Structure 1
């Protein structure tokens, strides 16, 4: 029987040659089915197959790092240098989201001294909206919280 070719560039391993213990995911610490990130070459769970499409679940270490970090964004956009010093990355997001993408728990290395920002507020009721967590809508450049959208 012919061997099936894989198109993935990711390295998958449960044990590194010459190492006495298997590597662990740099985010959750689990051993087992691991791969290395393309952006920063860190061991991470090879678990994207566990994600249920359109569930918005954050149960995949690999997917979380790939989708919710400046590290992966910087790499995917083909930016030069270190993501923590990249002006293109800084200008790509509103400050609140830039800080979140650079400091959340899906990063191996976090942004040191992130810029300060005023919280985003609903244009109708003035409630604070956490752009990284809360449901909201934007109309005419103004943000509206989930409650005010439904009214």
Structure 2
């Protein structure tokens, strides 16, 4: 007797990376996601865990953890909890299952010393008292 091949797409897939391995559903939005938080190495700041990325870097998860009601996309409390730049990143990054339509515009953060645009969501900057945001290169001046 011939073995039946499972229909394509019959197994749930992670909504972020597409894998079908060890999965769970997110408590915030009920999407399938890799159950891989155990692979994250503390203080590594690695972005290799679908679960952690969604849970840590999205307004969707923040909205859920804070116990806000309604949709995160229209939640004024969520909007007021972050600077516009951080809010837009957390509402539109690749760790979201659904991205915020028509995010607000903002002026990007620039280094207080050299004027280079700093993408705050990617890190690599310092906040210096009485100056503000300083890029990684300028942060290291005088130290090396």
TM-score, length of structure 1 as denominator length: 0.84
Q: Which residue is 2:87 aligned to?
A: 98
Partner of 1:13: none
SS of equivalent residue, structure 2 residue 102? coil
How many Å separate the matches in 2 of 1:133 and 1:94? 15
| Cα deviation 1:107-134 (Å, max 9, x = unaligned) | 0000000001111001111111000013
Aligned residue in 2 for 1:67: 56
* 1:23-102 paired onto structure 2 within 5 Å: 23-102=12-91
Tell me which of 132, 141, 146 is aligned to 2:121. Answer: 132
Q: Which residue of 2 aligns with 1:143?
A: 133
Give the Å deviation of 1:141: 6.6
Specify every segment of 5 or more residues in structure 2 that has no aligned partner in the other structure, as ranges.
1-8
SS of structure 1 residue aligned to 2:121 = coil
- Is the 8 Å Cα contact of residues 39 and 49 (structure 2) preserved in structure 1? yes
Q: CA deviation at 1:142?
A: 1.2
- How far apart, in 2, do the equivalents of 1:72 and 1:140 lie? 33
Change (3 A) 1:141 1:75: farther
What are the ranges of 5 or more consecutive residues in structure 1 without an aligned counterpart? 1-19
Distance 1:134 1:47 in 2: 23
Show the counterpart of 1:123: 112
Q: Could you tell me the TM-score, scaled by structure 2's length?
A: 0.88
Q: Tell me the number of residue pairs that the alignment of Structure 1 and Structure 2 aligns.
A: 132
Q: What is the Cα-based RMSD across aligned positions, in Å?
A: 1.3
Offset at 1:52?
1.1
